[in-house]
Structures are given as structure tokens and as C-alpha cells.
Chains A and B, each alone.
Chain A
Amino acid sequence: MDMMTLPLIAFADLFPRGVAQYAAGGLLIGLGVAVIYLGTGIIAGASTFLESTLSYVSDVPRFNRAKYLASRDWRVVFTLGIVGGGAVYALAFGEFGWTTDVQPWRLLGGGFLVGVGTRVGKGCTSGHGVCGVGSLSETSLVNVATFMAVAIGTAQVVAALGVSP
């Protein structure tokens, strides 16, 4: 065992599946944002879709503000694009039909808190995490640091309690 191989072994422990597909996926996520931004000047996040789409079915004034009414149609198109992109990936890599084993109550309850949290906190992993961090926005950096720390703590506690998957 020489000095060169030790760091490599540690690295492999931290990244058991390597880093290539993660980095490539990340670059494409950024590229999707860039395509929309360069064409339209719009900085697209994924979670405002929830609020703006509710305006189709709800009279609550909160969802019917002018900015949501004006953007709700293209946000549906954007989301359909994301669904389609996921499908193209799955078909190309032979993973179509993959399903999660994470229990429904975790998905429903966690999803509920994600829905509340993104709306209270002004964005999600794409809005703050990708676009806000890419803008070097202090607001987004605070939001991302908060949700990262809390999410790590939550996942560790849930795992420690023996909840799996």
C-alpha cells in the first residue's frame, strides 16, 4: 500500500457508483435551465408549477395572482417536458418501469412537507439549488445550506429508527 492508492480507496468508498453519470446528469440539468434562459430570459424552477397549476382548479387568491396566471401554461409545458425527459432517459437506458421501494407514507408525508417548504422558502432544489446558487444569491445559499443540513439530519434519524426503505 503506497501513498498514492490510499486516497483513491477513500474516494471509491465515498462514490461507490463513480461520479461520471452524476456529473453528466448535473451538466444536463444545468443545460436544460440554460436553454430556457438563453431563449426566453426566464429562470425556470420546478416547484412554482405546484402553485400556478392550482390556479386552474382553485379560487384561492394566493394561486390566482397575475404572475401565476401568466406563467401557468408554460409551466405545464415545462413540467411535461421534464416528464418526457425522464421517459426518454428511462427508455434509452432500459430502466423504464423502475419503481421505488420507499414506502407510500414517506412519499406522501415527505411530499407534503416539500410542497409547504418550497412555497414558504421561495424555491426548491432547482430554483435555489441550481439557479440561485448559480446566481451566487445569498438568499439561495442560506436556503440550500438549511435544507441540506436538515435533510441529512432527517434521513439519518429515519434510518437510525430502522425505517427502511
Chain B
Amino acid sequence: MSDDDDGRGPAFTLVILLGGLVFGFGLGLSGMAKPEIVLGFLQFEDLGLLFVMGGAAVVSGVTFFGATRFLGRAPLTGRRYTRRLKTMDRNVPVGGAIFGVGWGLSGICPGAAYASVGVGNLPILWAVLGMFLGAYAQGFVRASRADEADAGTAASGD
């Protein structure tokens, strides 16, 4: 993994912004920005969300496959195209389970929460606050555990 350097100029910023706009529009259209729809999916009342994740993963999968195979480096950064391959360890299922409880309780995940703010859904700010508090608590606890503080391979994420 190369560094995610900032400051590559206006074209870089514009592409990030454009990608975010399309991403957020998709989250709105897909219903992910509404906790009620996500909870309805998890309670098997409407399985439409299968098409959201499936459709998104197919597009990203085809893009990643094509770029890693046929393209060299990204024009705006010179970064090599890679796939998203994180290392497997005990944290992966443990974190997934914690996330699952939170998702099942609230019906909200990070990207969808940001999009929901854009919809004008002010109560969702409770969830955004909760996510920041959770990320802070996790980072604080981890940083204060000396044995993990110097483990450079510790979990990172998206």
C-alpha cells in the first residue's frame, strides 16, 4: 500500500468530490440512508438491499479487475491499481460482530449516515455522534495498551 498523500491539486480534489457525490446519491436512491429500510431488510421484510450490495460489488469488482489487469497507474496520483486485500486475523470477525450488533440495532452504517445527513435527516446526527465516540473509544483504548502501540501491523481500515 502506498501512502494516501493529499495535496495533489484541484483535479484530485474534484474527482474525490465527484465520486463522493455519486456514492452519496446512490446511497440515497438505494434506501441505505433510511434506517427503517435497512432494519426491514434485516427482519426479512424487504430483501431489496441484496441488490444494493450486489450491484455495488459487481461494479467495483469489474472496475478493480479491469484496472489491475489492463491499466498501469492512476493518472492523478501515479498510484498503482490494486485490489482491496486486508490481512486476516482475529480482529476481522470480532470487529464484524461488533459492527453487526450496531448495524442491527441502529440500521445505520458510516457512508449511509453521511448521506442521511444530506437528506436532512437530523436525528441521524445521534448515530454520527455515536460513531465518532466509538471510533475514539477504540483508538484511545488501543493507544493506551502499550503492547499494541508499537505493533505497526495493527488494524487499519476504510
Chain A residues proximal to chain B, CB less than 8 Å:
14-19, 21-51, 53-54, 58, 60-63, 66-67, 70-74, 77-90, 93, 95-102, 104, 106-140, 142-156, 158-159, 165
Smallest distance from the beta carbon of A62 to chain B beta carbons, Å?
A: 4
**For the complex, what is the distance from the CA of A134 to the CA of B39, rounded to whole Å?**
24
Q: Which 8 A-B pairs have the closest CB atoms?
A: A81-B20, A121-B95, A45-B158, A85-B24, A115-B134, A110-B106, A25-B30, A111-B130
User: Which one of A31, A39, A83 lies within 8 Å of B74 (CB-CB)?
Assistant: A39
CB closest chain-B residue, reference A155: B42
**Interface SS of chain A: helix, strand, loop or mixed?**
helix
**For the complex, what is the distance from the CA of A44 to the CA of B18, rounded to whole Å?**
13
**For the complex, what is the distance from the CA of A112 to the CA of B113, rounded to whole Å?**
13
* Residues A119 and B157 in contact in the complex (CB < 8 Å), given A81-B24, A113-B105, A143-B93: yes
**For the complex, what is the distance from the CA of A121 to the CA of B154, rounded to whole Å?**
11
Taking CB atoms and an 8 Å cut-off, the chain B residues in 101-158 that contact chain A are 101-124, 126-140, 142-143, 149, 155-158
Smallest distance from the beta carbon of B38 to chain A beta carbons, Å?
A: 9
**For the complex, what is the distance from the CA of A4 to the CA of B61, rounded to whole Å?**
34
On chain A, the residues within 8 Å of B7 by CB distance are 73
Number of interchain pairs (Cβ within 8 Å)? 594
**For the complex, what is the distance from the CA of A145 to the CA of B79, rounded to whole Å?**
30
**For the complex, what is the distance from the CA of A128 to the CA of B96, rounded to whole Å?**
10
* Residues A35 and B19 in contact in the complex (CB < 8 Å), given A41-B74, A54-B132, A125-B111: yes
Q: Check if A77 sits within 8 Å of B20, measured CB to CB.
A: yes
Q: Check if A107 sits within 8 Å of B98, measured CB to CB.
A: no
**For the complex, what is the distance from the CA of A121 to the CA of B54, rounded to whole Å?**
21
**Interface SS of chain B: helix, strand, loop or mixed?**
helix
Smallest distance from the beta carbon of B62 to chain A beta carbons, Å?
A: 8
Smallest distance from the beta carbon of B25 to chain A beta carbons, Å?
A: 4
Q: Check if B158 sits within 8 Å of A99, measured CB to CB.
A: no
> 23 A–B contact pairs at CB < 8 A?
A16-B45, A18-B48, A25-B32, A27-B26, A30-B60, A32-B20, A33-B56, A37-B63, A38-B63, A51-B157, A67-B156, A74-B6, A82-B111, A101-B36, A110-B107, A111-B130, A112-B130, A114-B103, A118-B157, A121-B91, A135-B83, A146-B92, A147-B100
- 1/0 contact string of B51-63 vs chain A (CB within 8 Å): 1111111111111
On chain A, the residues within 8 Å of B46 by CB distance are 14-17
Q: Check if B157 sits within 8 Å of A122, measured CB to CB.
A: yes
Smallest distance from the beta carbon of A92 to chain B beta carbons, Å?
A: 8
**For the complex, what is the distance from the CA of A15 to the CA of B77, rounded to whole Å?**
42
Q: Check if B24 sits within 8 Å of A86, measured CB to CB.
A: yes
Q: Check if B86 sits within 8 Å of A116, measured CB to CB.
A: no
Taking CB atoms and an 8 Å cut-off, the chain B residues in 7-47 that contact chain A are 7-8, 11-13, 15-36, 39, 42-47
Smallest distance from the beta carbon of B135 to chain A beta carbons, Å?
A: 4
* Residues A63 and B139 in contact in the complex (CB < 8 Å), given A32-B19, A115-B134, A121-B92: yes
